[in-house]
């Protein structure tokens, strides 16, 4: 085949050699400037499809694809570029556009500027307005949350929300109230999912109560309050349950209580032990003394006070982990540091 323009022999495209084809057909119409909004709060860029968090170079590539179509007859175009920063919001770009036509690749270089307009994305706008749809409440069953629990739940929620931030999940406000935590969340689904995840991780029960909030485009809008109640006790707690003194061996999926006098373990649903009360108790490893009376006496490591241990520890054991309450000393089945957190 011969080029109709220059007569060169070789492959032709619409009658032209590659050189003359490229001369006649520009790959793209190069824009002098590409403007884009970027959220001043979260750094997302605004694309045709919506806001998206990308780094600057990926964002620029996506903007080129969106805004600079291949000129006909090129079927496809790809971009590479080098950016030079003029200031935080202005970049001068040297771009290479590669147009494809059949098996031909034509390269066109051009310069343009990327101008970033600070703005606020939809999510951040809602967040700034203290927007919320649902409320997630975290409480203890018949007790206040302990400070370590408060810290752990806050960290847990922050990590979960961070992971689903792309789907518009955010917490607009968090309050410590009545020995618990309230999270104001961007969607009801987020509140429900977080409640379930917290119950899975920390134990406890979940409930939800929707309240009609208003109407939006003819649809009823509900505000859902999701409530997680963390178990009434923590592992290591010593409780009085139906006249017996027990230590808490587990809190989920069931509460397991071990009777300190008999050593017998039983499991309960959280609501079955709602009436149980925590007792002040210490747990430590104690020296065991055996006076000639045949008793086993645990010695408090600080006060030196001695109390008979129930049930009696194994023969010859010189030390044992005991639970020390106002009513006596009991052998514990847990390690001495079980209730430290
Ligand atoms: Zn030619
Ligand atoms: Zn934003």
| 130 CA from centroid of ligand 2 (Å) | 14
Strand order in the sheet with 104-119: 50-52, 45-47, 33-39, 104-119, 90-101, 76-87
| 163 CA from centroid of ligand 2 (Å) | 15
CA gap 7, 19 in Å, rounded: 12
| 291 CA from centroid of ligand 1 (Å) | 113
| 99 CA from centroid of ligand 1 (Å) | 18
Q: Which-ligand-closest: CA of 6?
A: 1
| 22 CA from centroid of ligand 2 (Å) | 42
Q: Which-ligand-closest: CA of 52?
A: 2
| 72 CA from centroid of ligand 1 (Å) | 19
| 247 CA from centroid of ligand 2 (Å) | 49
Query: How far, in Å, are 109, 123, 134, 307 from residue 224 at the CA level?
Result: 55, 20, 5, 53
Q: Which-ligand-closest: CA of 124?
A: 2
Say if pTM beats, i.e. exceeds, 0.75.
no
| 122 CA from centroid of ligand 2 (Å) | 7
Of the candidates 136, 107, 116, the residue with the CA atom closest to the CA atom of residue 19: 107
What integer pLDDT is reported at residue 340 of this predicted model? 47
What integer pLDDT is reported at residue 341 of this predicted model? 44
Q: Which-ligand-closest: CA of 11?
A: 1
Q: Which-ligand-closest: CA of 14?
A: 1
What integer pLDDT is reported at residue 253 of this predicted model? 79
* Residue with the two structure tokens 């518009």: 168
Q: What is the DSSP letter of 194?
A: H
| 1 CA from centroid of ligand 1 (Å) | 11
Q: What is the DSSP letter of 232?
A: S
Of the candidates 226, 232, 222, 229, the residue with the CA atom closest to the CA atom of residue 192: 226
CA gap 255, 107 in Å, rounded: 70
Peptide bond into 9 cis (omega under 30): no
Q: Is 188 helix (H, G, I), strand (E, B) or coil?
A: helix
Q: Which-ligand-closest: CA of 23?
A: 1
Q: Which-ligand-closest: CA of 38?
A: 2
CA gap 26, 76 in Å, rounded: 12
Mean pLDDT in order along the chain per 10 residues (341 residues): 92 94 94 92 90 92 95 95 93 97 95 92 78 92 88 93 73 89 92 93 87 78 91 88 92 89 91 84 92 87 91 81 91 81 44
CA gap 145, 292 in Å, rounded: 47
Side-chain-facing half-sphere of 63: CA atoms under 13 Å? 28
| 271 CA from centroid of ligand 2 (Å) | 43
| 45 CA from centroid of ligand 2 (Å) | 9
| 43 CA from centroid of ligand 2 (Å) | 6
| 154 CA from centroid of ligand 2 (Å) | 22
What integer pLDDT is reported at residue 166 of this predicted model? 57
């Amino acid at each position: 085949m011969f080029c109709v323009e220059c007569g060169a022999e070789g492959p032709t495209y619409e009658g032209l050699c590659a050189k003359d084809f490229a001369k006649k057909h520009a790959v793209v119409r190069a824009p002098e400037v590409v403007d884009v909004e970027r959220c001043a709060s979260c750094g997302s860029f605004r694309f045709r499809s919506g806001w998206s968090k990308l780094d600057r170079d990926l964002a620029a590539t996506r903007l080129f694809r969106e805004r600079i179509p291949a000129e006909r007859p090129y079927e496809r175009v790809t971009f590479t570029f080098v950016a030079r920063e003029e200031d935080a919001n202005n970049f001068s770009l040297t771009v290479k556009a590669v147009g494809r036509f059949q098996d031909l690749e034509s390269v066109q270089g051009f310069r343009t500027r990327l101008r970033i307009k600070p703005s606020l994305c939809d999510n951040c706008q809602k967040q700034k307005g203290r927007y919320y749809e649902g409320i997630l409440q975290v409480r203890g069953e018949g007790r206040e949350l302990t400070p370590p629990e408060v810290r752990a739940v806050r960290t847990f929620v922050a990590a979960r929300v961070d992971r689903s931030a792309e789907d518009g999940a955010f917490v607009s406000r968090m309050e410590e109230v009545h020995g618990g935590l309230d999270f104001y969340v961007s969607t009801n689904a987020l509140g429900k999912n977080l409640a379930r995840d917290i119950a899975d991780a920390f134990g406890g029960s979940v409930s939800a109560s929707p309240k009609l909030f208003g109407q939006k485009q003819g649809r009823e809008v509900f505000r859902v309050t999701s409530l997680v109640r963390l178990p009434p006790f923590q592992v290591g707690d010593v409780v009085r349950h139906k006249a017996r003194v027990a230590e808490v061996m587990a809190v989920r999926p069931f509460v397991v209580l071990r009777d300190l006098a008999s050593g017998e373990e039983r499991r309960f649903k959280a609501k079955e032990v709602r009436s149980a009360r925590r007792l002040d108790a210490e747990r430590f490893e104690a020296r065991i003394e055996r006076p000639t009376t045949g008793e086993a006496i645990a010695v408090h490591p600080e006060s030196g006070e001695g109390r008979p241990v129930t049930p009696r520890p194994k023969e010859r054991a010189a030390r044992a982990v005991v639970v020390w309450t106002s009513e006596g000393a009991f052998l514990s089945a847990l390690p001495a540091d079980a209730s430290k957190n």
